[in-house]
Structure 1
Amino acid sequence: MDQSASFFDPSNKKAAQLREQCAMETLDDLLDYILNGNGSVGIFDATNSTLARRKQIMERIRERAGPELNVLFVESVCKDPTLLESNMRLKLSGPDYDGKDPVAALEDFKQRVAIYEKNYIPLGDYEEDNNMPFVSMIDVGRKMISHQVRGFLAGQAVYYLLNFNLSPRMIWITRHGESVDNVAGRIGGDSDLSENGRKYAKAMTRFIGRQQKAWEVHQADKVANTHFPPIAGDHTPPNPHYSGDIQPKNFCIWTSMLKRSIQTAENFCDEEYDIKQMRMLDELNAGIMEGMTYEDIRIKHAEEYERRKRDKLAYRYPGPGGEGYLDIINRIRPVIVELERMTDHCLLVTHRSIARVLIAYFQGLKREDVADLDCPLGMLYQLEPKPYGVEFKAWRYNAVSNDFDHLPDYKLRRATTLNN
């Protein structure tokens, strides 16, 4: 199907009718998912640039769902011309223009924007007069306008947009090095690193330092080879975060409050890295079973062992302080918001349950997959937020070379035993 600028021209009656049909069928699918399926939140991703379209959307939602279903319109406006040009260039790396000549693609997208702009009616008076909740984000967060935002989820959406940024950066996630309790097979606790764990910590410090320098060289090269307007063969999109020159980024190291995590990061120089300990990154608390092996639990707490086996996600360890994965998901929500907000590099040296939740979030996995995600010791995960998703890389510690091997074909998978 032709999706050039002419497809989005309102004077193209055939294309306009097709767009309206697609929009309403998609909206009905979304409402089926919420009203008849197991969905609770839906995102209707369309331009919705005319007042008539927004009225049509609200009428269809109220017709099918009544007044109980909350609706929040989200508008993104770019007024800064440099930012707008950069955002247009970012669009070239998206699915609409994948593999197409960047010069022709940029020209086509500018025509599409001009068509939208000619017919666009911003959110404002009509929505206010008709009590329609909305949030308007101007110049990627330079200014925010919200109207009648109510409820937890809508408030969280606005909070996320307030902390949204396009800054290129690296997020690294790893478990601590091997601990004395890992060797003994005990869960929880607060033991020191083993000798192997200390070797891992030193190798990781060296490796992260090398990767940081290589990343800075790569970013400087991208900026040096980005052209306005693009030239043939130039597929490197500029980032709106940059104003022209590249400054070295701050690098944060976050650990839990437990010794094995703190010791894994102790080789980083505190003059070069911003090192902090956070209790939110502590391992899942096993309650009365802290310090036990899974075999001990199977023998001494057979009923609890079976309960956990049936549903690891919903299971909570009994006793004072006992937690489950649902508790961990709630506990680290502020960490995730901060990772979305910050423009610095960050390495999180944490524990299996925390690493599982963080990786699942950035990879867009289902909540049901979190508790069984394979996340062994010796793995270092690299995530780089991009305009269209998160670039994911995995590295495995090689004890023979005392360095890290890149795993280009690495796939996240389920743990193979209950004890994981």
Structure 2
Amino acid sequence: MRSGTCLDVSRGRSEVGPKLVVVMVGLPARGKSYIVKKLKRYLSWLGFEAKIFNVGNRRRRRLTMVEPETPSASAHGHDSTFFDPNNVDAKAMRNQVAMDCLEEILSWLQAGGKIGIHDATNSTKERRRAIIDRCAREPGVSIMFVESICTDPLVLARNMRLKLSGPDYQGIPEERAMKDFTERVRNYERAYESLGAEEEECDNVQSCQLINVGRKVIATNIQSYLASQVVFYLMNMNLAPRQIWLTRHGESTDNILGRIAYAAALARLVAQERRQFVARAEASEATSIRDGPFHVWTSCMKRTIQTADPFAQSDDCDVQHFKFLNEIYAGDCEGLTYAEIEARFPEEYHARQQDKLRYRYIGTGGESYLDVIERLNPLIVELERQRHSVLVITHRVVMRALLAYYGDIPLDRMVTMVVPLHTAYCIEPRPFGAVLRRFRYHAATDGFTEEPNGSHDG
């Protein structure tokens, strides 16, 4: 093996340990789809082959292809009577669609996938027993149930409203849609059975109950590395309104004044946007939010620390420096330009051009992009755990990795993302995902303008 070749961590992970089927459990409007999207994004960012399989989407496809004239169906979807536990034919169809979706997952896993997520209510012991029995016949596959339980009336009301914009209710008046969806939930509640002894007593079944989006987590029989990663991530989720700011350091090449100007303008921008964010959040949530103290995290490199100077002078800012935010370490190539690397290490230069994601710089401590992701994993978990707003000041490769996580950008595209200097990104986590805004600094006006969010590829 050539000295600069990095072990393909993503493929290696797909080969180690059993494959995993994550089976969601929970009533409608309990945040299951929100959870699986975040979970899939996190696992994919770590380098695992992960994919969501949504039973509701399969049900709707079957409706349009096979049953357009059934009494409980319309051009939009099945109405609440389809989910009545006493509707024998509908129950049989729902179970069949769920099992068909499971077969699709198992086929995908055997074809090379690592983590398949079964996104459905799976609300009865009967359904879950069928899933357990089928997975038990599949070699090299383990199973994990994740139940989402929500008792917070504000979160439930918000989730109910979000459901009205989903595919089952497109084009239907809001009042009529809410009435039908409320009745659908009641039908599910009549037959709902939470995870319990039946699942716990199965030696090969792992489970996790997530109560009020991470406020309480109950894990049972966790055996595999993958399942432990799932539990660890879910334990740190929360829905607290907050902003996550990301930026590279101010300009540093023979331009100290440029760096100081950017730092001062960045502090003004963040302060202004934080005030507006708090006002918006309080107006929409009808409650105050906890937005202090404001955390500023930098690398241990001088140019990021200097960019944080205006924040360090503020009483309500907590500035900390972390080595895991340092730029990718280039080993024997550290401090060299790309032209100098090409001249001195031509084989290494061309090897990196062929596979930037997996290439590891030669020499002691040399890193690859995958190594950077590994050391950033604790940061991502901490950002998910945080209930206050945060500013991260770092470097280009680290910025690419962080933006790939929040944007759910495949790792092979991450390495070519354009992340310019003097640009600040603001991420606002929401129940349906996240809103990303981008601000560009202009030295001529010493201020920022918000830009449209186009592609970062380059």
2:77 match: 2
1:163 match: 236
Of the three residues 214, 217, 220, the one matched with 2:279 is: 217
Contact kept? 2:242, 2:387, Cα under 8 Å: yes
Give the TM-score of the pair, scaled to structure 1: 0.85
Take 1:4 and 1:250, find their aligned partners in 2: how far apart are those partners? Answer: 47
> Helix, strand or coil: the match of 1:199?
helix
Once the two structures are TM-superposed, the CA of residue 93 in structure 1 deviates from its matched residue by 5.4
Take 1:154 and 1:360, find their aligned partners in 2: how far apart are those partners? Answer: 23
1:69 match: 141
Deviations 1:316-341 (A, max 9, x none): 11112211111101001000000011
Residues 110-129 of structure 1 mapped to structure 2, 5 A cutoff: 110-129=182-201
1:175 match: 248
Of the three residues 382, 398, 403, the one matched with 2:447 is: 403
What letter matches 1:286 in structure 2? A
Take 1:198 and 1:278, find their aligned partners in 2: how far apart are those partners? Answer: 21
| Distance change in 2, residues 1:62/1:23 (3 Å) | same
Contact kept? 1:252, 1:345, Cα under 8 Å: yes
> Helix, strand or coil: the match of 2:309?
coil
Once the two structures are TM-superposed, the CA of residue 4 in structure 1 deviates from its matched residue by 3.1
Take 1:54 and 1:71, find their aligned partners in 2: how far apart are those partners? Answer: 11
Residues 76-95 of structure 1 mapped to structure 2, 5 A cutoff: 76-92=148-164
Once the two structures are TM-superposed, the CA of residue 83 in structure 1 deviates from its matched residue by 4.7
> Helix, strand or coil: the match of 2:310?
coil
Residues 378-417 of structure 1 mapped to structure 2, 5 A cutoff: 378-413=422-457, 415=458
Q: Which runs of 5+ in 2 are unaligned?
A: 1-75
Give the TM-score of the pair, scaled to structure 2: 0.78
Once the two structures are TM-superposed, the CA of residue 257 in structure 1 deviates from its matched residue by 0.5
Take 1:331 and 1:70, find their aligned partners in 2: how far apart are those partners? Answer: 28
What letter matches 1:70 in structure 2? S
1:207 match: 269
2:54 match: none
What letter matches 1:369 in structure 2? R
What letter matches 2:275 in structure 1? K
2:106 match: 31
Compare 15-24 and 146-155 and name the one that shifted more: 15-24
Of the three residues 237, 248, 251, the one matched with 2:294 is: 251
Take 1:406 and 1:17, find their aligned partners in 2: how far apart are those partners? Answer: 52
2:309 match: 266
Take 2:438 and 2:157, find their aligned partners in 1: how far apart are those partners? Answer: 33
Compare 73-82 and 152-161 and name the one that shifted more: 73-82
What letter matches 1:250 in structure 2? P
Question: Does 1:327 pair with 2:371?
Answer: yes
Give RMSD over aligned pairs. 2.0
What letter matches 1:262 in structure 2? I
Of the three residues 352, 373, 385, the one matched with 1:341 is: 385
1:189 match: none
Of the three residues 115, 119, 141, the one matched with 2:214 is: 141
What letter matches 1:281 in structure 2? L
What letter matches 2:266 in structure 1? M
Deviations 1:379-415 (A, max 9, x none): 21111111121111112112222211211242221x3
Take 2:158 and 2:317, find their aligned partners in 1: how far apart are those partners? Answer: 31
Once the two structures are TM-superposed, the CA of residue 162 in structure 1 deviates from its matched residue by 1.1
Take 1:324 and 1:343, find their aligned partners in 2: how far apart are those partners? Answer: 31
Task: Give identity over the alignment, percent.
Answer: 41
Deviations 1:332-378 (A, max 9, x none): 10000000111111110000111111110111111222222211212
1:108 match: 180
Contact kept? 1:94, 1:388, Cα under 8 Å: no
> Helix, strand or coil: the match of 2:210?
strand
Take 2:315 and 2:267, find their aligned partners in 1: how far apart are those partners? Answer: 14
Once the two structures are TM-superposed, the CA of residue 109 in structure 1 deviates from its matched residue by 2.8
Deviations 1:157-205 (A, max 9, x none): 111111110112111111111112xx6xxxxxxxxx6322222111111
Take 1:301 and 1:171, find their aligned partners in 2: how far apart are those partners? Answer: 39
What letter matches 1:208 in structure 2? V
Take 1:247 and 1:296, find their aligned partners in 2: how far apart are those partners? Answer: 49
Once the two structures are TM-superposed, the CA of residue 10 in structure 1 deviates from its matched residue by 2.5
Take 1:219 and 1:267, find their aligned partners in 2: how far apart are those partners? Answer: 26
Contact kept? 1:255, 1:276, Cα under 8 Å: yes
| Distance change in 2, residues 1:106/1:273 (3 Å) | farther
Contact kept? 2:341, 2:349, Cα under 8 Å: yes
Contact kept? 2:207, 2:222, Cα under 8 Å: yes
Compare 267-276 and 149-158 and name the one that shifted more: 267-276
> Helix, strand or coil: the match of 1:267?
helix
Of the three residues 12, 17, 21, the one matched with 2:96 is: 21
1:187 match: none
> Helix, strand or coil: the match of 1:165?
coil
Contact kept? 2:242, 2:429, Cα under 8 Å: yes
Once the two structures are TM-superposed, the CA of residue 96 in structure 1 deviates from its matched residue by 4.6
Take 1:93 and 1:201, find their aligned partners in 2: how far apart are those partners? Answer: 41
> Helix, strand or coil: the match of 1:44?
strand
Take 1:279 and 1:219, find their aligned partners in 2: how far apart are those partners? Answer: 33
Take 1:375 and 1:261, find their aligned partners in 2: how far apart are those partners? Answer: 16
Deviations 1:220-252 (A, max 9, x none): 22134xxxxxxxxxxxxxxxxxxx444544321
Take 1:337 and 1:247, find their aligned partners in 2: how far apart are those partners? Answer: 19
